[in-house]
């Protein structure tokens, strides 16, 4: 490639990037997500999943979301798990550009189907999770209302890749520290998708400790990018949320 062609292409890419940035509104928030996940075994293949996620902005001061999710698991072998479930999500008004156009808190009812595939590469654990969601988002037909009177149906697909690596050499198969990394992308589809197909992306880096076969704990950093489903002043709106992530996992 000649130097002139390279300069032309570079200028076009730079122009496109700057133009895209000018058409965006940015909302930066500090977040703290505090989560507990439980699995209750019924037999060798069936179990019940339940979780509660307490999501805050300004680390702990104000509400971002409360999420309760439950489901039934079927695990034919150690490498694959199927889950069918329901989630109840309460999203609060936060940030400079709230998700709800009226700046109101709203409820979401969600049905989901999930497949998780586990693999091992030397000492590292690899997982791929695919999730399909049917979402019913609360909507206010008037700014005077104090409770949602309509629900909008939305489809979303999610894919998460997670890598977990043990720290140090330990003979113990139970008590062991590890580091984890994951990336999850969310894509909306269907007639009510709104402004964008891209919904959000989450990247997490974690330090974990498996205490025993019943409990493990994780603490780390989370970066969340959310694109709102509407424009403001003819501009796309992106939330850039980052902060603390703390998880507790309990198996019964």
The CATH number for 188's domain is 2.40.160
Residues 81, 74 contacting (CB under 8 angstroms): yes
Element (H, E) at 250: strand 235-251
pLDDT tens string, the chain, 252 residues long: the values are 555 554 454 444 444 444 455 578 999 999 999 999 999 999 999 999 999 999 999 989 999 999 999 999 999 999 999 999 999 999 999 999 999 999 999 999 999 999 999 999 888 999 999 999 999 999 999 999 999 999 999 999 999 999 999 998 655 556 789 999 999 999 999 988 876 799 999 999 999 999 999 999 999 999 999 999 989 999 999 999 999 999 999 999
C-beta neighbour count of 108 within 10 angstroms: 20
Q: Which domain holds residue 42?
A: 3-251
- The domain total for the chain is 1
Nearest CA among 44, 108, 31, 36 for reference residue 78: 44
Please report the beta strands in 42-175, taking only residues with DSSP state E, as ranges in sequence order.
46-57, 62-77, 80-91, 106-121, 124-139, 150-166
């Amino acid at each position: 490639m000649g130097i002139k062609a390279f300069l032309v292409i570079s200028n076009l890419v730079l122009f496109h990037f700057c133009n895209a940035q000018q058409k965006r509104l940015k909302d930066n928030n500090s977040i703290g997500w505090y989560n507990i996940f439980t699995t209750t075994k019924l037999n060798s293949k069936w179990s019940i999943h339940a979780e509660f996620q307490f999501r805050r902005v300004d680390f702990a001061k104000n509400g971002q979301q409360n999420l309760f999710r439950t489901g039934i698991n079927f695990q034919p072998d150690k490498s694959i798990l199927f889950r069918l479930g329901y989630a109840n999500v309460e999203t609060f008004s936060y940030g400079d550009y709230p998700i709800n156009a009226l700046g109101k808190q709203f409820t979401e009812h969600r049905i989901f189907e999930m497949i998780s595939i586990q693999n091992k590469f030397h000492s590292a654990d690899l997982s791929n999770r695919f999730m399909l969601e049917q979402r019913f988002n609360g909507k206010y037909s008037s700014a005077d209302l104090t409770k949602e009177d309509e629900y909008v149906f939305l489809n979303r697909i999610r894919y998460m890749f997670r890598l977990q690596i043990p720290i140090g050499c330990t003979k113990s198969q139970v008590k062991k520290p590890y580091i984890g990394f994951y990336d999850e992308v969310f894509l909306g589809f269907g007639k009510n998708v709104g402004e964008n197909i891209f919904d959000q992306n989450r990247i997490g880096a974690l330090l974990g400790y498996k205490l025993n076969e019943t409990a493990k704990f994780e603490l780390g950093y989370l970066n969340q990018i959310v694109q709102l489903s509407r424009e403001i002043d003819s501009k796309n709106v992106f939330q850039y949320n980052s902060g603390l992530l703390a998880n507790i996992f309990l198996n019964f």
